[in-house]
A = this chain, B = another copy of it.
Amino acid sequence: MAHQHPKEFWEERARLNALVFRYAGQATKRFFRLDSQVYEEGALPRKTKELMGLVASLVLRCDDCIRYHLVQCYRSQVSDPELEEAMAIGLIVGGSIVIPHLRRAWQFWEDLKREGDPSKSTEGHGGIQD
């Protein structure tokens, strides 16, 4: 999995989401909407939910999902120690097979802290699942 900076990741994601929606039937569209809805503020705060999405993505070993939730954690002002504790849960539950994803996650987190919220400078792409 090649290194991908947050801005690149965000733009590619937006471009391909638009492509999915060009073909998408009703069920696919509805599922995408649900996928935003479950992370909204509710009985549990949004920050907690994004960290849950991150842990789930780690144990299922999906780099793109991890990156997406890291962007949302960054926006929700998750601290380094909070992130590390969530990552440690993902590591212990998922085992050493999670390690390569952990490595790339921290690299992406460093990029995020250096380069900032990738959605800020992405004009006109957003819209879907944002």
Contact = CB atoms under 8 A, between A and B. Distances in A.
Contact of A103 (B17, B55, B61): B17
B89 A39 contact: yes
Contacts of A28: 84, 87-88, 91
Given A43-B79, A89-B38, A57 B97 contact: yes
A35 interface: yes
A50 to B, nearest CB: 10
Interface residues of A, number: 69
B103 A96 contact: no
A44 B86 contact: yes
7 contacts: A27-B38, A28-B91, A42-B81, A43-B81, A56-B56, A92-B96, A94-B97
